[in-house]
Amino acid sequence: MRTPTWNRRPSGTSDMVAVTAGLTSVEVTLSGGASEGITRPPVFTCSIYTPGKTSIKIYVDDGVPLPQDLIFSVLVSGTENSDWRLVELDIIVPLGPADPDSHKLMVRYNESGPRMLSNLRFNVVASLKHDEDDESTKFLVLRLLPRSEKGWIDVKKIGGDISFLLCLADVNLFDRGTAFVKLGTAAYYTYRYDQAPREGDFTVRIDR
């Protein structure tokens, strides 16, 4: 997946990938490792699944996939000793047809939007973006925003779960029984980089 041009990793950073129960999350630290006195940002472990399942399950009626609610699970760890302040966490969903060579989760999204499942310290809003170099490349950006007049939240106060529900998504139907789709993430902080996010990605499974 090509990184959207409005999200660029700052120079001098590198990725450290943490794998939890088969799910990939990305924690980005300063190149060369964290120096003394500098704490690390939290780790967000992301996955998407149909309620009651462990993956996205496609239900078909007369050859047409049915719209379904999707749970976007976002589990948070590594906050206990961190002094970072989260401004925004984005999940970036590339949009497009069910191309066998370039998997996309869905073609478009025009429904009622996302809603938080339990953590009322956050709002979640949806917006559409396009690649600045190619306007035909579009993304659904799901933005987790702290409910704070300050515009940020101390990561110690986030809690362990900021999952949300995306209502009535038209998931692409692929020819093969199982397909995998890659999505992006971008976390914005006040601690070190005001503008440039810390980016990562994760992969979700779609079963027919």
pLDDT tens per residue across span 134-161: 777 899 999 999 999 999 999 999 999 9
DSSP string, 168-201: EE-BPPPSSSEEEEEEEEEEEESSS-SSSPEEEE
- CA 39, 45, 47 angle in degrees (round to 5)? 165
Q: How far apart are CA 27 and CA 62, in angstroms?
A: 43
pLDDT of residue 145: 97
Residue 100: the pLDDT is: 76
**Contact between residue 204 and residue 47 where contact means Cβ atoms under 8 Å apart:** yes
Q: What is the pLDDT of residue 1?
A: 43
Report domain extents, the chain: 13-207
Between CA 150 and CA 154 the distance in angstroms is 10
pLDDT at 133: 75
Residue in the structure block whose two tokens are 């950073």: 13
Using CA atoms, how far residue 171 sits from 34, 57, 66, 115, 195, in Å, is: 40, 9, 8, 18, 32
Of 160, 164, 148, 150, residue with least CA distance to 90: 164
Domain 13-207: which topology?
Immunoglobulin-like (2.60.40)
Which pTM value belongs to this model? 0.80
3-state helix, strand, coil in the chain (%, to 5): 0, 55, 45
Share of the chain above pLDDT 90, in %: 62
Ranges of the chain with pLDDT below 50? 1-36, 193
